[in-house]
Amino acid sequence: MRKTIVGITVVGKDREGVVAQFTSFVFQNGGNVEKVNQNVIKGLFGMYLEVSFTSKINFKQLDSGLQKLGKKLRMEVSTHSETGAEKNIAIFATKEQHCLKEILSAKHALTGKISVVVGTERALAPLAKKAKIPFVVIEDRSQEKAEEKLLKICKKYQVDLIVLARYMRILTPNFVWRYPNRIINIHPSLLPAFPGSLAYAQAFERGTKIVGVTSHYVTENLDQGPIIFQDSFKVIPEDTLESIKKRGQKLEATTLLKAVKMHLDNKLEVRWRKVHTKSK
């Protein structure tokens, strides 16, 4: 029988015995642990378990049992399973429209549904409205408060994939750990060089001969997640900062869209912090 893969995320205040109790629960319910990743930052514990079942499982019953265990340990637990159903996509953005516009223009070609667009301001609301997609603005300056609202939105729309379309806020571990390898970002340089928001200016000032962009999965380490896809263009003597930025933004949009399509088509797999393309 084909294996059923279930992802389990556990987030909460660090305490002893959490890993042991969750892995024991999986074994007692006939599952096998395929992957386990855990981390602690400033007293916050996060764990991702990828488990498999070779026999038929009652997903609701499994989730109910995990929720009871989470409540007992005072941990927030969520489960995710690739059922083959259409994936729900949330796009987070700020005010630059090139990436959002590119993805919205290709929405009918995606093997997923863009369920909601979230902005830190209202600048991009008209694009979402034109595409007939709900737009939610979250203007909270406090990232903690903003993420509380983001989590509620993602739960409401049953989000499977989050796309950061030039979203100019840094997501904390408390959020990122809940969506392992399900948040895709685009960075305007060939990582791991020129980190931060002024990548084009740094590239121009250093006289780089090639400028590129990087799509990657988001982790708790800023701009250091597993790289999905990269592309680049040559800088010519006539280029200015503005011409480099214009060409770069066009490449950002197409590269991000390509990464999203590959993820939705289940062509990507993360092993040992590297993204591998699955063979057909």
Q: Which residues are catalytic?
A: 223
272: Cα within 13 Å, side-chain hemisphere: 0
For every residue of the chain, DSSP letters joined together read -PPEEEEEEEEEE--TTHHHHHHHHHHHTT-EEEEEEEEEETTEEEEEEEEEESS---HHHHHHHHHHHHHHHTEEEEEEE--SSPEEEEEEE-S--HHHHHHHHTGGGSSEEEEEEEESSSTTHHHHHHTT--EEE---SSHHHHHHHHHHHHHHTT-SEEEEES--SPPPHHHHTTSTT-EEEEESSSTTSS-STTHHHHHHHTT-SEEEEEEEE--SSTT-SPEEEEEEEE--TT--HHHHHHHHHHHHHHHHHHHHHHHHTT-EEEETTEEEEPP-
